[in-house]
Amino acid sequence: MNVVDSSGWIEYFIGSSNADFFASAIENESNLVVPSITIYEVFRKLLLEANEDTALRSVTQMQIGRVVNLDEPLAIDAARIGIDLKIPMADSIILATARAYGAILYTMDEHFINLTGVKYFPKKKPTLV
């Protein structure tokens, strides 16, 4: 099973040089778990930086995987993870979801470096030509 952090979805949708790192996890639809908080984050970012049509098309594509809503047990696990690792709420929910499904978390978020079950990819900085 795979979970892709919001930053990974954005990279994939914009076709950045980092997109390939996330493509195999995203395109493996039968093993894709999508925390509903990532839908919020991706929609919000694309709504701000692109337009509503792009944002809607993107979150529709995200629903190819199994969308997992935040329920009480997941919220409690996420709160514990957030306190233990000192990470923000959304990151806690995403990691808790990955762990609940025994999934690998694909991310560029430095909060997750060296955690078990995480495939971290450092964000490439744009190069000046």
- Look at residues 65, 44, 64, 66 and name the one whose alpha carbon lies nearest to residue 55: 44
Assess whether pLDDT exceeds 70 at residue 128. Answer: no
Locate tokens 């809607």: which residue?
Answer: 56
**Options 3.40.50.300, 3.40.50.1010, 3.40.50.2300, 3.40.50.720; which CATH number does 2-120 get?**
3.40.50.1010
| Amino acid 129: pLDDT | 57
| Amino acid 95: pLDDT | 98
R_g (Cα) of the chain, nearest Å? 14
User: pLDDT tens across 84-125, in order?
Assistant: 999 999 999 999 999 999 999 999 999 999 999 999 999 876
In angstroms, the CA 70 to CA 94 distance is: 10
| Amino acid 124: pLDDT | 73
Question: Could you tell me the pTM of the whole model?
Answer: 0.93
User: pLDDT tens across 36-72, in order?
Assistant: 999 999 999 999 999 999 999 999 999 999 999 999 9
